[in-house]
């Protein structure tokens, strides 16, 4: 017996060093909703995806810049020299012109694909030999319109950068929602793990207390000569085994806390609230679950958004099959005089008015690039639709499996509860029999171990049921709605804030 007692003392010392409880002042306590809320605010993986959504939103807003008017200013001064080949300038073989130019223009894009330009040009020219008006001031006020009639016509083609950015933003939003689905599922599972392992830890502490009590009583009875010495050996072995199991239980519990803290991005010690696992009610139905999944599942909605983007690309590529037919229209007034004021006076009259109306037609013979781009987009759409149909079938199977898991978990809770009640009754009977010498130490310890297994089975069944509930909510797309999670302010928040918020209830 003596070689075993140091082992017991060593195990007890190890337990005392490793099982020191965390000071409540040092640990942040979370209930389930509190843990979910903090995870939505702090989790780094979710934050990384949120920046992708913000980037796509910035790109969408930037796409509307195509409708920003464009102002242009040009100022130039120079000199041009050339040889004249005119008969009446035979003695003046070199012609020199000095000029100064100042131009203003304002252009605007329209949703139809048209571009309107208003331009005002000014120039001063000195010529050697002199011309009829020297120096000459020349100005023009011009309005022009270029409108595609076939290729490039309409808002779909004109705003394609905006429309593609909007589809990419929708895809990024579904990526954020899917990451939130994954995160909440992991937080809930980790939280239920902590609760189940804490319950196991508490029972292991009770188990050690019982083993110590049995050891003390056996030793007293052996000293009194009413019990065989081998009973002390049985008690010592049982106590040592339960101390080791207590150490393992505490290690598993602290590992689970660390895992939860990692999901919460918490650098401080955490604890879970003083609650026990229960059996929350849940109504399951395959058809209603499938209906909600088809409108809420982010992975399916992302696939739908990708198909919508391909449809947009196909419409643009189909427009590229058309010939280019552009309507060109312009109207202007010109001025020409020896002084700048007289030149401007000419602009106010219609004496030097100019106008033009015309059509420009062009078409690449064969147009192979456009035809193959359109064919490629059609093929991608067909492939994506086939994948979408396969995903819908997969979702139905996932819902069926989740419903079966919920039902089986419910039954396991009932069975494990009955098993625990039976084990508790058996242990009470053994303890009473031991008091009158009708049960051995080994039988009592075996009965206590049977109760430990029954308790573990019951708490595991409860944890499995709660995880099954989470799985059902996830595969039906109801998880965020069930937890009251929505996009904060329509996605308008600072870069450091979470894009998702959880409602109070």
Question: What are 7-40's pLDDT values in tens digits?
Answer: 443 444 344 434 444 444 578 899 999 999 999 9
pLDDT of residue 92: 57
DSSP assignment string, 39-54: HHHH-HHHHHHHHHHH
Whose tokens are 């999670």? That residue is 485
Q: 196, 194, 202, 282: which is closest to 470 by C-alpha?
A: 282
pLDDT of residue 85: 64
Helix (H) or strand (E) holding 262: helix 230-263
- Hey, how many other C-beta atoms are within 10 angstroms of the C-beta on 300? 20
Residue 76, strand partner residues: 101
Whose tokens are 């920046």? That residue is 51
User: Would you list the domain boundaries of the chain?
Assistant: 28-62+159-309+376-502, 69-109+114-150+324-362
pLDDT of residue 463: 92
Residue 95, strand partner residues: 82
- Hey, how many other C-beta atoms are within 10 angstroms of the C-beta on 365? 5
Strands 70-83 and 485-487: unpaired
pLDDT of residue 215: 82
pLDDT of residue 275: 87
| SS3 call for 77 | strand
Reported residue count of the chain is: 505
Low-confidence residues of the chain, pLDDT below 50? 1-24
Residue 337, strand partner residues: 137
pLDDT of residue 494: 57
pLDDT of residue 490: 56
Nearby residues of 486 by Cβ (< 8 Å), 6 or more positions away: 480, 500, 501, 503
Q: Taking a C-beta distance cutoff of 8 angstroms, is the pair 200, 247 a contact?
A: no
Question: What are 160-205's pLDDT values in tens digits?
Answer: 999 999 999 999 999 999 999 999 999 999 999 999 999 889 888 8
pLDDT of residue 496: 61
Q: Taking a C-beta distance cutoff of 8 angstroms, is the pair 310, 384 a contact?
A: yes
C-alpha count within 13 angstroms, C-beta hemisphere, residue 94: 4
Nearby residues of 341 by Cβ (< 8 Å), 6 or more positions away: none
**Backbone CA torsion sign across 446, 448, 451, 452:** negative
Question: What are 225-242's pLDDT values in tens digits?
Answer: 777 888 788 888 888 988
Report the alpha-carbon distance of residue 159 to residue 170 in Å, rounded. 17
Q: 451, 496, 478: which is closest to 185 by C-alpha?
A: 478
Helix (H) or strand (E) holding 418: helix 368-435
The model carries a pTM of 0.80
Q: What are the distances in angstroms from CA 493 to CA 53, 56, 490?
A: 12, 14, 9
When the pLDDT of each residue in the chain is averaged and rounded to a whole number, the result is: 87
Residue 420 phi/psi, 5-degree rounding, is -65, -45
DSSP assignment string, 390-403: HHHHHHHHHHHHHH
Residue 399 phi/psi, 5-degree rounding, is -65, -45
Q: What are the distances in angstroms from CA 151 to CA 155, 158, 375?
A: 12, 10, 17
Q: Is the peptide bond before 135 cis (omega within 30 degrees of 0)?
A: yes
Q: Determine whether domain 28-62+159-309+376-502 maps to CATH 1.10.150.20.
A: no
pLDDT of residue 2: 38
Classify burial at 56, counting beta carbons within 10 Å of its beta carbon; exposed 0-12, middle 13-18, buried 19 or more: buried
């Amino acid at each position: 017996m003596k070689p075993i007692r140091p082992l017991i003392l060593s195990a007890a010392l190890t337990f005392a060093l490793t099982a020191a409880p965390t000071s409540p002042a040092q640990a942040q306590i979370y209930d389930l909703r509190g843990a979910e809320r903090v995870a939505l605010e702090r989790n780094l993986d979710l934050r990384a995806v949120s920046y992708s959504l913000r980037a796509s939103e910035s790109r969408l807003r930037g796409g509307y810049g195509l409708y920003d008017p464009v102002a242009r200013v040009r100022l130039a001064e120079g000199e041009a020299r050339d040889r004249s080949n005119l008969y009446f300038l035979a003695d003046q073989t070199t012609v020199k012109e000095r000029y100064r130019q100042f131009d203003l223009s304002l252009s605007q894009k329209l949703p139809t694909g048209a571009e309107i330009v208003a331009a005002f040009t000014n120039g001063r020219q000195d010529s050697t030999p002199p011309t009829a008006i020297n120096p000459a001031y020349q100005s023009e006020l011009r309005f022009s319109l270029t409108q595609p009639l076939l290729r490039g016509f309409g808002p779909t083609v004109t705003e394609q950068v905006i429309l593609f950015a909007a589809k990419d933003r929708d895809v990024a939003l579904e990526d954020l929602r899917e990451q939130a689905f994954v995160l909440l599922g992991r937080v809930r599972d980790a939280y239920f793990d902590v609760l189940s392992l804490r319950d196991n830890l508490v029972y292991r502490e009770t188990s050690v207390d019982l083993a110590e009590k049995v050891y003390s009583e056996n030793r007293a009875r052996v000293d009194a000569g009413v019990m065989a010495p081998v009973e002390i050996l049985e008690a010592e072995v049982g106590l040592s085994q339960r101390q080791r199991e207590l150490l393992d239980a505490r290690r598993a519990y602290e590992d689970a806390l660390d895992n939860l803290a990692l999901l919460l991005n918490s650098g401080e010690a955490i604890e879970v609230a003083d609650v026990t696992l229960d059996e929350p009610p849940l109504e399951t139905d395959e058809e209603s679950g499938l209906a909600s999944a088809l409108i809420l599942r982010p992975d399916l909605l992302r696939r739908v958004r990708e198909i919508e983007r391909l449809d947009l690309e196909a419409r643009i590529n189909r427009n590229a099959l058309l010939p280019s037919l552009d309507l060109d229209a312009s109207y202007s007034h010109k001025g020409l005089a020896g002084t700048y004021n007289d030149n401007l006076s000419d602009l106010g009259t219609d004496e030097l008015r100019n106008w033009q109306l015309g059509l420009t037609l062009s078409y690449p013979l064969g147009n192979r690039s456009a035809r193959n781009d359109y064919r490629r987009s059609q093929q991608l759409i067909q492939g994506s639709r086939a994948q979408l149909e396969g995903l819908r079938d997969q979702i139905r199977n996932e819902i069926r499996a989740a419903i079966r898991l919920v039902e089986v978990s419910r039954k396991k809770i009932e069975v494990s509860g009955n098993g625990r009640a039976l084990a508790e009754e058996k242990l009470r009977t053994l303890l009473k029999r031991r008091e009158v010498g009708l049960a051995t130490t080994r039988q009592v310890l075996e009965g206590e171990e049977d109760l430990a297994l029954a308790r573990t089975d019951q708490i595991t069944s409860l944890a499995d049921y709660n995880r099954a509930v989470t799985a059902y909510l996830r595969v039906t797309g109801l998880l965020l709605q069930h937890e009251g999670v929505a996009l904060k302010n329509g996605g308008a928040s600072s870069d450091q804030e979470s894009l998702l918020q959880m409602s109070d209830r």
